[in-house]
Amino acid sequence: MLAAVLLILAGLVLLRGFLSKIPSVGSALEKFSIQLSAFDVVIGIIALVLGLLELLSLEGILLVLAGLVLSVTALATIPSVGAPLARLGRALAEFRVILGAIVLIVGVIDLLRIIFDFRI
């Protein structure tokens, strides 16, 4: 359940600036994502760690990718491996909207599956 919630939070932060284009709910989601963006590095580090723990699942891979993009400033400070990780995060940032949409959709589906015990 933690992975699903973290996927949703990371997806909203990654989609900041794009959510306002969605009719009827976009402005509320945009305001929430702006408030969440103050914690983007924290969400990114937690997503990266949780994604590494669940690396053999789709959620784990998506959490690692979202974590790399969101925590690029913190990754740059790690000795000896920080610079390559920060470069990878900056390279993935070009696909921020696509990654954010995929992460958000998978997170919502995963949360619905957990709540309603869906079998997909």
pTM (two decimals): 0.86
Q: How many CA atoms lie within 13 A of 117 on its CB side?
A: 0
* Whole-number pLDDT of residue 118: 66
* Whole-number pLDDT of residue 26: 65
* Whole-number pLDDT of residue 65: 93
Full DSSP string of 41-84: HHHHHHHHHHHHHTTTSHHHHHHHHHHHHHTHHHHTTSTTTHHH
* Whole-number pLDDT of residue 45: 93
Domain extent listing, the chain? 2-116
Going from the first residue of the chain to its last (120 residues), give the mean pLDDT of each consecutive group of 10, the final group possibly shorter. Answer: 92 84 74 86 93 92 93 87 87 91 94 81
Angle between helices 2-14 and 40-53 (to 10 degrees): 140
* Whole-number pLDDT of residue 77: 87
* Closest to 66 measured CA to CA, from 14, 5, 29, 4: 14
